Structures are given as structure tokens and as C-alpha cells.
Amino acid sequence: MNPQQAYAPGRDPYFPDHGDARYRVHHYELDLDYRPVSNRLSGSARLSALAGTVPLEEIALDLAPFRIQRVLLDSRTVRYTHRAGKLRIRPAKALAPGAAFTVEVRYTGNPKPVRSPWGGLGWEELTDGALVASQPIGAPSWYPCNDRPADKASYRVAITTPSPYTAVVGGRLLTRTTRASSTTWVYEQPAATSTYLVTVSLGKYTAVPLTSSGPADERRPPVPQTAYLPARLLPEFTEDFARQTRMMRFFEETFGPYPFGEYAIVVADEELDVPVEAQGVATFGTNHLDGARTSERLIAHELAHQWFGNSVSIADWQHIWLNEGFAKYAEWLWSEHAGGRTAATHAAAAHQQLAVLPQDLLPADPGQKLMFDDRLYERGGLTVHALRCALGEDAFSHMLKDWTRRHRHGTVTTADFTAHAQQYAAAPLGDLFDAWLREPSLPPLPRPTGPHHPADPQANPLPQD
């Protein structure tokens, strides 16, 4: 991210106690040592940041109740307090607007998920290993951060753990060094990343390269893709993820180039309620493998988040429909492309399902209580489908690719998207967006009206590989 990018205004209305809009971080360096048997984490975090537009008298970081060993501001000791999930640092003199500064924190303790309305979030101890699932406010469970989705930064993460364990972090593996019985893994993620999208997975995993070794597209080499999973699950995994590389190619054709350097899939050796997306990584549970591709829609959903949510990120959680609506619609597009039910058929089923449920959800501002409601996902997908119907195939395709290109590694709001979409429409879209995003009642099922839209989508699926 360009260090001069404008600051997102104010606090997140859904989580006003998280994050600090008075400054932003542009780079994190995390050096961690984790012992799975004792669930002991020792960490050193160095944050490179810029003050905002007013003098900075306090630097507030989000951090769970670890034992603080040292805090430095610009390499000097500094006064601080640490209570109620906040590490508050008091400079001897207020930092000038726009000033660059660094904060270093050394800490240790037993990481555990932070409490939330949806249960524990963040660092989760497994039967044999650990994983991080932070959406939306779990990042402080394992490192000090400015925990707001708009404050995106690059990362370098080094983690030392017993050698039988594989450590997976989003980004490129720089080095892997084994000394005695421990191995240190060093990863780099140069792309701007929201705090909740940084992840770690530790387990006794086998690495499986997924990228095809066949002839590459000379215009665009294949995205490096690797899976990490327990060896015993290889037969099921091979079938369930057989179309992963085809899916990646299709999404690149549909959404534009993959926005990161690589993509990793982790199958944790434990059942998980839902898969978890992170920057350049998706984590699944053993229950998502059955050898019958039952969870393929979830594979599509998590991959689509790399474009919608991870590269193009929301400025605050009010706009979560932009993440989940597009990921839901990606499920439908993949089904259509792969010879299954068309997006129109999925849309009709979703509409029928929503029609019998309570009509009290505003997708453009669902509130904290409903931000992960299943209806937001379905209604968001229907909003995208309604827009596709209104624009027509050609305009819709150009709109999608330009959206991901123009806002690559940036932050957006609903207003940004509606203004963007309007540029590709022959008629005003205000009524469409008001009906689908800003009114609780369910609009009628959208029908194709734009040019070059197939009259019978069921009979005209997208071309197959």
C-alpha cells in the first residue's frame, strides 16, 4: 500500500473499541515462538507506522492480556498501560501529524480466542497444532495491532515451532531453517493486508503442489498453489479439490488476475464449523472432505474472497455484503461454468428461500448482530445477480474486472461500488440498489433486461474448459 494513501475516517461503527484511526501501520514484523504442547507463545512485534492529521498523544494497539516484557517507541523505552484489550503507549512528546514512528512490543503467554458475539475468535489451540481464524476481531488474540479492516499493511512473519510441525502463513515462504529440534519458517506478504486476514496454521501436514505442470499460458503463468493436510486425507482431498486449478483459471478470466503471489489451502486436522479465508490462504476442516465434492461451493467461496474482501477490502464492517455477496455469487458462477445449476437457477432458489424468512435485514447496514446472517449472503448474491441482469453480460464482465483492478489492495464502501457500477449502465441504478441494499423487504426476482444477456440462462451456460 502507498504510505500516502488517505486515512479511512473515524472508528468502525460496529466495533468502536477496536482500532485507532489517528494513525496507520504500513508494515508489521512478527517473530514468534510457539510450543504446541504447552500452548505457549512468545512474540516480538515491530510496527512501522505513520501518524495521522493531528498530533498523536497516544498510540493505542489492540492486544489480548499477554504478559508484556518490553515496549519501545522509536527504539526508546516508553510509558504504557495494558488493560481491557488495549496497549496504550504514551510518547514523551506528541508525535507531529504525518510523522513516521516504530513500535516494538515483546510479549509472552498462552494464546486463546478473544470473546465475541460469535464465540471465540483468533488463535485456536487444536488437538495437535493451532490455527488462526480472526474474522472480524480476533487478530489481537496473538499479536499487537491496529485492528480495523481499513488499516492494511505488509507483513513479515517468522515462526519457530517443533520440527514435526509445518507452519503455514499467508505469503511467500522465504526461508525454512532447522536447528536441533525446532524449525523457523519465515514468510513475507508484500500486499496490503487487513489485520483479521493474517493467519497461522500449525500441524503435522504433508505439502501437495496443485499447480499444473502442463503447458502454461504464456500470457499469464499459473498461480502457484499448494495444499497442506494430514497425509491420511490425501485420497479424499485429491477428489474434492480436483478442479481447484480450473477454478482459479476461471476466476481469473471472470474477475481479473489473481491479486497475490500464491494461494495455499490448509486442511486442519480437526472439524471446523465453516472454512476460513485469509490473505492468500483458505483453511478447511476434515469435515469438508468426503471424496464426493460436496463442499466444492465452499472452495469457490473462499477462493473468491481473495478478490472480494482480501484484495478489495471493506473500509469498515458495515459494508460486509461486498465481501459475502460477491463470494456467494462466485459460487453460482462456478456452478454455471462447471456444468451445474446456472446462476439464475441458484438465484431463484435463494429468492424462494428468503421470501419465507423475516424481512428485517438491511444488507448495506445489517448491524453487528446480523452481519454474518445467512440472509446477508444470499441477499448479497441476489444483488449481484440483479446487477448482472440489469447491465447485461458484456457490461457486467467489464464492471467486475475494472472494480478489482481499480481497487486492488485498497479499501472500499458500498457508495464506492454503486458509483462504479453506474458507469457501466445505460439507465440509472439508484432504484435497484435502494431496493436490494437499503430496504428490508425482498424485491421481486431479477430478470435479464440488459443487452447480450442469454434469454434462457439454463440453456446457455458459460463455456466449459
Residue positions annotated with a catalytic role: 302, 377
Do you know the residue count of the chain?
465
Question: What single-letter amino acid sits at 230?
Answer: P
Segments of 294-414 assigned E as strands: 313-314, 411-412
Q: In angstroms, rounded to a whole number, what is the distance separating the alpha carbons of residues 15 and 78?
A: 28
Contact 240/296 with Cβ under 8 angstroms?
yes
Give, rounded to a whole angstrom, the gap between the first and last alpha carbons of the chain. 35
Nearest Cα residue to 286 out of 358, 221, 203 = 203
Nearest Cα residue to 231 out of 292, 286, 193, 273 = 286
Residue given cell 440509472 in the structure block: 428
Q: Say which DSSP state 284 is in.
A: E
Pairing status of strand 313-314 against strand 411-412: parallel
Distances (CA, A) of 301 to 180, 283, 307: 41, 12, 11
What is the b/e burial string over 64-76, where b = at least 16 CB atoms within 10 angstroms of the residue's CB?
bebebeebbbeee
How far is CA 149 from its chain centroid? Answer: 10
Nearest Cα residue to 184 out of 161, 164, 168 = 161
Q: In angstroms, rounded to a whole number, what is the distance separating the alpha carbons of residues 155 and 188?
A: 6
For the annotated binding site, the residues are 301, 305, 324
Three-state secondary-structure class, residue 174: strand
Q: Count of CB atoms within 10 A of residue 341's CB?
A: 17
Three-state secondary-structure class, residue 364: coil
Residue given cell 514468534 in the structure block: 32
For the annotated binding site for Zn(2+), the residues are 301, 305, 324
